[in-house]
Amino acid sequence: VLVAVSLRNQKVIIPQVPDVDAASVAETISVPELSQFTLCFEATKGSSDDNDDWKVFSYTDALSTEFFSFGKTTKGHFLSISGTQCILENALPRNAEFFTENFQQLCIVRESFSGSIGVYVKSTYHTVYCPGISGKVIPGNGRLVLGSNSNEVSSLNGDIYNFRLWNFTMNAQTLANLSCDVKGNIVDWENEFWSIPTSALKAGNNLSCGSYLVPSSAIEPTSCANLGSLCQATVNATTPTPPTVTTNMPDTNRNDKPNNGGLFYRISITVFSSNSNSVSKVHDVVAEWLNRTFQNWNYTVYVVNISIHPGSIKEGAREKRSLQSFKIFALLVYNSTNNINLEEEDIRQKLINNNGTMEGGYKLHTVDVDPVEKCLAEENPPNYFWPDTRPTVTNYTLCHGSSVQTASRTCYLGLQNYTSYWGQPDLRNCTENAADIANQLLNLTGEGQQLTSDKVNDVVQKLKKIVNDEEIDESLGSTVVTIFSNILTSSDSVLAASSSEALKTIDALALKIHFTGPSMSISTRNLALGVSSINSTSFKGGSFSVSPQNNASDFQIDFDKDQTNAFASVVLPPSLLKNLSQDEFEVISRAQFTFFNKNGLFQDAENPANLTSFVVACSIGNITIQDLQDNVKVTIKHTKFQEDPKPTCVFWDMNKNGGNGGWNPAGCQVDSESNENETVCLCNHLTHFGVLMDLQRTVTQIDPQNTKVLTFITYIGCGISAIFSAATLLTYIAFEKLRRDYPSKILMNLSTALLFLNLIFLLDGWIASFNIDGLCIAVAALLHFFLLATFTWMGLEAVHMYIALVKVFNTYIRRYILKFCIIGWGLPALVIAIILASANTKASHIYGKELYGKDANGQGGDDFCWIKNEVVFYVTCAGYFGIMFLMNVAMFIVVMVQICGRNGKRTNRSVKEEILRNLRSVVSLTFLLGMTWGFAFFAWGPLTLPFLYLFSIFNSLQGLFIFVFHCAMKENVQKQWRRHLCCGRFRLADNSDWSKTATNIIKKSSDNLGKSLSSSSIGSNSTYLTSKSKSTTNTYCKRNSHT
C-alpha cells in the first residue's frame, strides 16, 4: 500500500507476520538477473534479538525459493546467494553487531561472478572471501520483502530505512562519499518502488536523508530548511507585485535539526531604510539580524523562509530625505521540548528589544506576530470527517465501511503567505476492501499452516471486524466461511480461547450476508452455511438438510426436502411464527442454518459427557424463538456407531460458563424415532443442536495425566520395539545358518511386520501435521496393512506350531514358506485393496486425519492418520484380530499341552526345572502369538485404566520380548554372535559346536523329533532342525509323499 508521504521522511517497522503485513518491492518493479550488485540500507535492532535467528530481507522466486537474503544465525551474520550462505563475521570486530538501537548504514558489494563480498560498515571497508558463491547469480523477476519471507525464521525486530540496490559495484571511496541523491537504479527508497502497509510506516527523528516539515500521524516535523513538498507556496498574485525574494534561514539556536513537532508563528515586520539598497542587501541584513536576535534564547526556535516585499518611498519629515520601506515576512518555528508555552507577545517584545542591533541604517517600524491557524475541521468527501489539525500534520481515519484500512489527509503550510490549508484526501488505501484482507487470512489459514491459539484468536478478531463493519456479499461470505472451515481443523486446545467469538461471528455472518433468489448456501469441508428467505405472512414451514456429496469433500445443502441420508436436518413447523410480536413479525425476512462437521468450537468444561453427533444451528432473523406451540424436529447423525445409545438432546447456551457457552438440555427431548445411527430431537426453540451420549465405554474417562503417561509409554515402547525388531531381523539376515529352517523364516516375516508397524506409528502424528490429505490417507492405509500383517503372521506362527507339534507325523506341505508368505502378506493386502476399491466409498471417507486422545471435556488430543469409518474399523481391525486371537488361544492351549506332556516324560530334570522351563515357554509363546493384544477386550468399565496400561506396555514392547526370548536367549544365535561379533576370550572358534552337534545327532534325534518346527520358540536350549532333521525327517517326508 503506497502512501502519499515520501519514504525519505519515513522508516519502516519490519513486519513480523509476512503473510499478512508484508512490506515488499512493488509488483511494477522488475528486478533483473544480478551477477554483481551494490546494496545499501540502514537498520536498527532491538535488544531482544541478540540470541535469535532473523532476516532483514529476503528475495524469492515465484515458487517461494529463496535466492538472496541477509540475516543472522547462530553462526553469525550472513549473506545468502542462491542457497549458499556467506558468513560476514570477519567484517566486524569480535562480538560486534552490524546494527544497534540507532540507525547504522551497511553496504554490501558483490563483483561479477566473484567469490568475494565487500562490506562497508562504520566507515570501514572489508573484504570477505566466500568461494561457495563463485559463479552464482541471483535470478530476475523475483519478490523482495523486508524481513523474513516465511514463519520459520523470524524477521529482524527493528526498523529499516533507505534501502537502495544497484546492478553495478562501487568501491570504498564511492561508498564513503555516497549521498542521499544517488538513487538506486534497481530499487530506491521512494514510494513508487515499494508496497508497504501504512501500519509499518513511521516518521522518524534525524533520518539521514529526510527532508523537514513532513507529515506524520504522531509527529509534527518543523523544519522547512530543505523546502520539502509540504512547504508549498500556494498564493498566486492576481495583480502585479514588486519583486520578492524568498529564502530559507539557517537554523538558529539548535545543534541538530529537530523533527519532533513544533508550533508555527507568522512574523510580519516593516523596516525603513534611508539608503538606496537592493532587495538582496536588505534580505541579508534582516536575515542576519533575525538570526542574532533568537540566538541563545530561552526558547528553542528558528526562522525559515524569509520573504522581502519592497514598499513605497516617502519623505522623512526630520531627516529631510526619502525613506524606503520593506515589508518582511518570516516563519518562526518553536520546537516545544519541555511543554513551555511561547506567547506571541514574547516573540514581539524580543524583536522590538533588539531593534537597535539592526545594522546598515535600518529601523524597525512595525512588528506583528500571529500563530499559524489550524486547518479547520470539515467533512470531505462525504463520510470522511477530518478534525482540527495543525500544519504539517497528517490525520488518519478509517475508510468508510472498513475497520482495517485508513484514509489520510495532510494539513499543508503555504510558505508565501504562511497560512494552513487542507490537501486532498488520500483514499488510495480504501480501494483495498475487506475481500483483500479476507484473502490474506485465507492464505494464512490454508493447508500446511500451523495455527497457534494466538493466531486463531487474531484471525477470528479480524473476521469479526469484517463481518461487523463490511457489506457481505456471497463472494466475501464464501471466503469467510472457508477461513472458519480452515480454523476448525485445529485442535480443541487451540480453538478454546476464541470459540465463543467464532460462534458469534458465524451467526452474525449468516444474519448479514446478502444474496439473491430464494436461498443461498456455502459448503466447505468443515462448515456449511445456508440462508433462506422467509415471507412471514405466508410461512407454511420449512426444512434444511445437509448430506454427503458424491465424490466431493463438501456437503450438499437442500432447502426443499429432507434427505434420507442426511448428516443433519431441521424441520420448522408452520406455527413457528405464531407467538411473535407485531414488530418481530414485520422484520423477519430470513432463516439461517449452520452445519458443523467439526465440533471443536463447542467445548463445555463443566459437562463430562461426549458430543457424539454433528452440530446444526438454526435461527430466524435476529429474534429469539422459544416456547413454540409445535416442536422443531432436528435429526442428527451420530459421528460414531452406538450399539446401545443413551442420547440426550441439547442446545448450545451462550450464557453458560460465564459467557463461554455450554450444553443445555432445556426444552429438548429425544424422539422415539431415534436409533443407533441417528437421534431425532424435538425442541421448542431454535439454536445450536447436538447429541450427547453417556455410554459404557465413555463413562470412565482418562484424565490428562494418565493420557500423557500412556502416550509416553506407547511412543517409548514402540521405539524400543522397532529397534529390537530390526535387531532380530538383521541377526537372521546376517547369519545364513540361522535362517535355514521354517521357524526362523516365519520369525523374520513377523519381525518385519512389527518393525514397519512401529515405525509408521511413530511417524504418523508428524505426517498428520502437514495437513496433506493424500499423504495422510496413504500413511493410514500402510499402518492398517502392517497391523493386519502383524496379526496374520502371529496367527501363522500358531498354525505352524500346530502342524509341527500336533500333526508332525502325518502332514507334508509343498512350498511351505511360499504359501505362508502369500497368506501373511497377501491377505492383508487383499483387505486393503477391497477397502480402497470399494465402488461406493472414497478413500478420504475411509482413511484420513482424526483427533485422538481428547480428555473428558473434549480438550487436547493429537491429529493421527488412521481409519475414519467405524464399520471398516470394527470389521477389519477388531473383527480380524478377534478371529486371529481366538485361533491363537486355541493353538496356544494345544501347544502347551503337547510341550508339558513331552517335558513331563523326562526324568533328568527336577520339578523346579520343569516348572521354570514350562513358564518360560508360556511367556515366550504369549508374546510370539500376540496374546497380550487380548487386553483390549478387558479394558471395560472400572478395569479400563489398568488394562490400558497393560495393553500399552506389553504390546508396544512386543518387538523387545520377541528379541529376548526368540533371539538373544537361543543358544545357536549366541554362538553365531560370539563367533562373528566377539573377539578375544569371548570369541568362539569355528565349528566348535557344530562338530559336537554332529556327533550327538543320533542321541538327540528323539528329542528333536518331538519339537516344533518353531521349537526354538519354546526354550533357549532347544536346537533347530534344518528341514526336519537331515537324519530322520527327510526320509519321513519322502515316504509320505508317496502315500
Q: Which residues are registered as beta bridge partners of 164?
A: 40
Looking at residue 506, its pLDDT comes to 92
Average pLDDT over residues 244-253: 39
213 falls within a domain: no
Looking at residue 436, its pLDDT comes to 77
The single-letter DSSP state of residue 285 is: H
Average pLDDT over residues 1024-1030: 31
Q: pLDDT: is 1013 or 439 the higher one?
A: 439
pLDDT band for 820, please (50, 70, 90 cuts).
very high
pLDDT band for 611, please (50, 70, 90 cuts).
confident
pLDDT tops 70 at residue 1020: no
494 falls within a domain: yes
Question: Which three cell numbers, joined as nine digits, stand for 885?
Answer: 486371537
541 Rama class: left (phi>0) / alpha (psi -120 to 50) / beta: left
854 falls within a domain: yes
Are 784 and 638 found together in one domain? no
- Residue type present at position 953: I
pLDDT tops 70 at residue 635: yes
Looking at residue 541, its pLDDT comes to 86
CB atoms within 10 A of CB 561: 10
Q: Which of 699, 723, 747 is the last residue of a domain?
A: 699
Among 373-382, 488-497, 622-631, the least confident range: 622-631
pLDDT tops 70 at residue 72: yes
Provide the residue range defining the domain that includes 54. 7-203
Average pLDDT over residues 727-747: 88
Looking at residue 833, its pLDDT comes to 92
Looking at residue 792, its pLDDT comes to 94
Q: Dmax over Cα atoms in the chain, in whole Å?
A: 158
Q: pLDDT: is 897 or 378 the higher one?
A: 378
pLDDT tops 90 at residue 945: no
159 Rama class: left (phi>0) / alpha (psi -120 to 50) / beta: beta
Please write the tens of the pLDDT for every residue from 270-284.
988 877 677 778 888
Q: Which of 669, 699, 729 is the last residue of a domain?
A: 699
Dihedral sign, CA of 277, 280, 281, 284? positive
Axis crossing angle, helix 704-734 with helix 742-768, rounded to the nearest 10: 140
Q: Which of 699, 714, 729 is the last residue of a domain?
A: 699
878 falls within a domain: yes
Are 445 and 312 found together in one domain? no
Distance in angstroms (rounded) separating the CA atoms of residues 757 and 791: 11
Alpha helices for 630-772 (secondary structure H): 656-659, 696-699, 704-734, 742-768
Q: Assess contact for 963 and 953: CB atoms under 8 A.
A: no
Looking at residue 279, its pLDDT comes to 79
pTM, two decimals, is: 0.37
Are 352 and 439 found together in one domain? no
CB atoms within 10 A of CB 626: 12
CA distances from 817 to 446, 726, 810, 822, 884 (A): 50, 21, 18, 9, 19
The fraction of the chain above a pLDDT of 90, given in percent, is 17
CA distances from 653 to 477, 484, 616, 686 (A): 25, 21, 14, 11
Q: pLDDT: is 96 or 687 the higher one?
A: 96
Q: Assess contact for 361 and 275: CB atoms under 8 A.
A: yes
Q: What is the CATH number of the domain that holds 171?
A: 2.60.120.200
Question: Which three cell numbers, joined as nine digits, stand for 987?
Answer: 570369541
pLDDT tops 60 at residue 353: yes
Looking at residue 37, its pLDDT comes to 92
Q: pLDDT: is 1010 or 185 the higher one?
A: 185
Among 330-334, 355-359, 634-638, the least confident range: 355-359
Q: What is the CATH number of the domain that holds 326?
A: 3.30.70
Looking at residue 1030, its pLDDT comes to 33
Are 679 and 747 found together in one domain? no
Alpha helices for 197-278 (secondary structure H): none
Average pLDDT over residues 492-498: 87
Average pLDDT over residues 798-822: 80
The single-letter DSSP state of residue 663 is: E
CA distances from 538 to 297, 579, 603 (A): 84, 15, 39
- Residue 213 has, within 13 A of its CA and on its CB side, a CA count of 27
CB atoms within 10 A of CB 629: 11
Average pLDDT over residues 731-757: 89
Are 493 and 535 found together in one domain? no
pLDDT band for 643, please (50, 70, 90 cuts).
low
227 falls within a domain: no
Distance in angstroms (rounded) separating the CA atoms of residues 714 and 708: 10
Looking at residue 205, its pLDDT comes to 65
Q: Assess contact for 234 and 416: CB atoms under 8 A.
A: yes
Q: Assess contact for 222 and 259: CB atoms under 8 A.
A: yes
Average pLDDT over residues 891-896: 82
Looking at residue 375, its pLDDT comes to 92
- Cβ neighbourhood burial of 659 (10 Å; 0-12, 13-18, 19+): exposed
Please write the tens of the pLDDT for every residue from 527-547.
999 999 888 888 888 888 888
Number of folded domains that form the chain:
5
Are 499 and 597 found together in one domain? no
pLDDT tops 70 at residue 476: yes
Please measure the distance between the N-terminal and C-terminal CA atoms of the chain and give it in whole angstroms.
Answer: 92
Q: What is the CATH number of the domain that holds 661?
A: 2.60.220.50
Looking at residue 893, its pLDDT comes to 86
Distance in angstroms (rounded) separating the CA atoms of residues 327 and 312: 10
Are 327 and 354 found together in one domain? yes
CB atoms within 10 A of CB 455: 19
Q: Where are the beta strands (DSSP E) in 335-418?
A: 362-371, 378-379, 385-386, 394-398, 406-414
Average pLDDT over residues 30-42: 92
Question: Which three cell numbers, joined as nine digits, stand for 927?
Answer: 508374546
Looking at residue 200, its pLDDT comes to 87
Are 834 and 963 found together in one domain? yes
Task: Please give the angle made by the CA atoms of 792, 796 and 800, to the nearest 5 degrees.
Answer: 175
- Cβ neighbourhood burial of 878 (10 Å; 0-12, 13-18, 19+): exposed
Distance in angstroms (rounded) separating the CA atoms of residues 1017 and 751: 14
Average pLDDT over residues 720-734: 92
Query: What's the per-residue H, E or C state across 103-137?
Result: CEEEEEEECCCCCEEEEEECCEEEEEECHHHCCCC
Average pLDDT over residues 321-330: 81
Please write the tens of the pLDDT for every residue from 762-780.
998 889 888 788 899 999 9
Looking at residue 19, its pLDDT comes to 66
Please write the tens of the pLDDT for every residue from 835-888.
888 745 567 778 888 766 654 444 455 778 988 887 888 888 888 988 988 988
Distance in angstroms (rounded) separating the CA atoms of residues 335 and 413: 16
949 falls within a domain: yes
Pairing of strands 406-414, 394-398: antiparallel
870 falls within a domain: yes
Residue holding cell 564511492?
174
Distance in angstroms (rounded) separating the CA atoms of residues 156 and 647: 55
659 falls within a domain: yes
pLDDT tops 50 at residue 327: yes
Average pLDDT over residues 31-56: 85
Are 726 and 693 found together in one domain? no
- Residue type present at position 472: I
Among 188-202, 331-345, 587-601, the least confident range: 331-345
Are 324 and 184 found together in one domain? no
Looking at residue 759, its pLDDT comes to 94
Q: pLDDT: is 392 or 482 the higher one?
A: 482
Are 364 and 457 found together in one domain? no
pLDDT tops 90 at residue 554: no
Q: Assess contact for 184 and 38: CB atoms under 8 A.
A: no
Looking at residue 991, its pLDDT comes to 55
Q: What is the CATH number of the domain that holds 856?
A: 1.20.1070.10
| φ, ψ dihedrals at 52, nearest 5° | -105, 155
- Residue type present at position 887: M
- Cβ neighbourhood burial of 428 (10 Å; 0-12, 13-18, 19+): middle
Looking at residue 485, its pLDDT comes to 92
Are 631 and 754 found together in one domain? no
